[in-house]
């Protein structure tokens, strides 16, 4: 199914993005290059629809991604002609095009200075603030980006997107506790977001995986006694979050995948003797519950994989990579079980 121009294109595969940007000439040709924006013209029937501008914006983004700068500039010109240079959204798009055009760090610094200039005139310009943060992150200045984001959230605390970005920035820096905090804020703003529950759950899970790999040495070093406690606490939290995401969304592949991962790990750890468990103020569900959850996840995952692979009607919406990852996880366990039996 061809991707629609009416939806933001950032998550599309390269092939789909290419397909979209190849539509550019026909879209640009089939719509009028200028649209009269005077109030009188609004009385007459015209070809202007809100969809048109969303199309231009998404086309601009796909063209920038695929390197079709000519079409991108054309889209931008039309948007500027309609909405003017002072529109905040158009300003952000202009900045985006400049970022894409810049060849070296000097150009990027210039763009950054322009953003600073715009913000000194109007420091509540949120799209430009976001662009500036994204540019800082893209230039590798993560701590600057994080502090700017915290500042943005200071005056716009209900922006779930910004909280989510903050969580991501903290996560790549390995600051798991801060990332978890930011993700919790996202959940406060969007409590029904099943993917947020899932990615929130991923955070402590990653946390533990990385802790195992020694990437959380700081935490372990500052709190050697609490290390095992935080580990179990995060696992319990992860278990809860994955369960919640499944509760919010039937047959949610990522939720079941995470549930499988966590229960598998917990069952493996259960063999080890637990120490000081009475000091910790959380309760791990008993091993029977965990085993049942594990079984449920296995059953559901294999059902999803089977029906998706058979391309059954109504089961084709899953991401191919996610299905492949789930298959790998199950195969891994199957081979482990076979080796134990032998």
Partner 1 sequence: MTWISKTITVLGGILLAHACYSAQEHSSLQSFRAAAASLTSSSTLTATTLPVDIAIETIVATFIIVLGLVSGTRPLRPIQWRVWAGKLEREGAEGFVDNEGEVNKDYVGNPFKNLEMRPGFVDVRRQRREFAEWVKGGGEK
Contact (CB, 8 A) for 11 and 62: no
| Region binding partner 1 by CB under 8 A among candidate stretches 7-15, 210-218, 224-232, 235-243 | 7-15
The span from the CA of 286 to the CA of 288, in Å, is 5
Rounded to the nearest whole angstrom, what is the least distance from the CB of residue 12 to partner 1 in the complex?
10
Contact between 283 and partner 1 per CB under 8 A: no
Contact (CB, 8 A) for 177 and 223: no
Closest CA to 46 of 54, 55, 37: 37
Nearest to partner 1 of 102, 228 (CB atom): 102
Residues 245-264 interacting with partner 1 (rule: CB under 8 A): 247-253
The span from the CA of 210 to the CA of 200, in Å, is 15
Among 5, 17, 59, 112, binds partner 1 (CB under 8 A): 17
Among 5, 24, 193, 290, binds partner 1 (CB under 8 A): 193
Q: Give residue 140's region: left, alpha or beta (phi > 0; psi -120 to 50).
A: left
Nearest to partner 1 of 50, 225 (CB atom): 50
Contact between 115 and partner 1 per CB under 8 A: no
Nearest to partner 1 of 96, 216 (CB atom): 96
Contact between 143 and partner 1 per CB under 8 A: no
The span from the CA of 12 to the CA of 6, in Å, is 13
User: How many residues sit close enough to partner 1 to count as binding (CB under 8 A)?
Assistant: 56
Rounded to the nearest whole angstrom, what is the least distance from the CB of residue 5 to partner 1 in the complex?
12
Rounded to the nearest whole angstrom, what is the least distance from the CB of residue 194 to partner 1 in the complex?
6
Nearest to partner 1 of 166, 262 (CB atom): 166
Nearest to partner 1 of 4, 37 (CB atom): 4
SS (H, E, C) 252-318: CHHHHHHHHHHHHHHHHHHCCCCCCHHHCCCCCCCHHHHHHHHHHHHHHHHHHHHHHHCCCCCCCCC
Rounded to the nearest whole angstrom, what is the least distance from the CB of residue 60 to partner 1 in the complex?
10
Nearest to partner 1 of 168, 291 (CB atom): 168
Among 53, 83, 181, 318, binds partner 1 (CB under 8 A): 318
| DSSP type of residue 3 | P
Closest CA to 136 of 125, 148, 127: 148
Contact between 61 and partner 1 per CB under 8 A: yes
The span from the CA of 291 to the CA of 286, in Å, is 9
Nearest to partner 1 of 127, 229 (CB atom): 127
**Main-chain dihedrals φ then ψ at residue 302, nearest 5 degrees:** -70, -30
* Cα atoms in the 13 Å half-sphere on the side-chain side of 103: 0
Rounded to the nearest whole angstrom, what is the least distance from the CB of residue 10 to partner 1 in the complex?
5
Contact between 65 and partner 1 per CB under 8 A: yes
Nearest to partner 1 of 7, 212 (CB atom): 7
The span from the CA of 203 to the CA of 235, in Å, is 10
CB burial of 8-18 (b: ≥16 within 10 Å; e: otherwise) equals ebeebeeeebe
Interacting residue ranges for partner 1, rule: CB under 8 A: 1, 4, 6-8, 10-11, 13-15, 17-18, 61, 64-67, 92, 96, 99-100, 126-127, 130-131, 133-134, 137-138, 160-162, 164-165, 168, 186, 190, 192-196, 199, 247-253, 313-318
């Amino acid at each position: 199914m061809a991707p629609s121009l009416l939806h933001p294109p950032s998550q599309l595969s390269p092939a789909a993005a290419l397909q979209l940007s190849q539509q550019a000439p026909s879209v640009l040709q089939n719509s009028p290059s200028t649209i009269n924006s005077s109030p009188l013209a609004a009385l007459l029937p015209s070809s202007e629809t809100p969809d048109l501008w969303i199309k231009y914006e998404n086309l601009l983004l796909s063209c920038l991604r695929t390197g079709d700068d000519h079409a991108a500039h054309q889209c931008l010109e039309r948007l500027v002609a309609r909405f003017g240079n002072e529109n905040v959204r158009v300003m952000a798009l202009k900045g985006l095009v400049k970022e894409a055009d810049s060849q070296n760090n000097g150009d990027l610094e210039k763009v950054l200075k322009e953003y600073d200039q715009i913000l000194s005139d109007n420091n509540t310009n949120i799209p430009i603030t976001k662009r500036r943060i994204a540019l800082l992150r893209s230039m590798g200045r993560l701590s600057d980006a994080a502090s700017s984001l915290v500042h943005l959230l200071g005056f716009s605390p209900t922006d779930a997107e910004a909280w989510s970005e903050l969580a991501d920035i903290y996560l790549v820096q390995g600051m798991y506790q801060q990332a978890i905090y930011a993700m919790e804020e996202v959940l406060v703003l969007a409590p029904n977001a099943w993917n947020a529950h899932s990615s929130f759950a991923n955070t402590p899970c990653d946390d533990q995986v990385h802790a195992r790999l020694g990437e959380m040495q700081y935490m372990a070093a500052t709190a050697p006694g609490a290390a095992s406690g935080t580990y179990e606490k995060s696992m319990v939290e992860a278990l809860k979050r994955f369960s919640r995401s499944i509760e919010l969304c039937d047959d949610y592949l990522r939720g079941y995948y995470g549930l499988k991962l966590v229960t598998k790990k917990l069952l493996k750890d259960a063999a080890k003797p637990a120490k000081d468990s009475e000091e910790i103020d959380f309760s791990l569900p008993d091993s029977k519950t965990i085993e049942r959850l594990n079984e449920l996840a296995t059953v559901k995952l294999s059902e999803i994989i089977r029906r998706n692979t058979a391309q059954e009607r109504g089961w084709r919406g899953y991401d191919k990579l996610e299905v492949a990852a789930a298959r790998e996880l199950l195969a891994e366990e199957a081979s482990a079980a076979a080796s134990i039996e032998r």
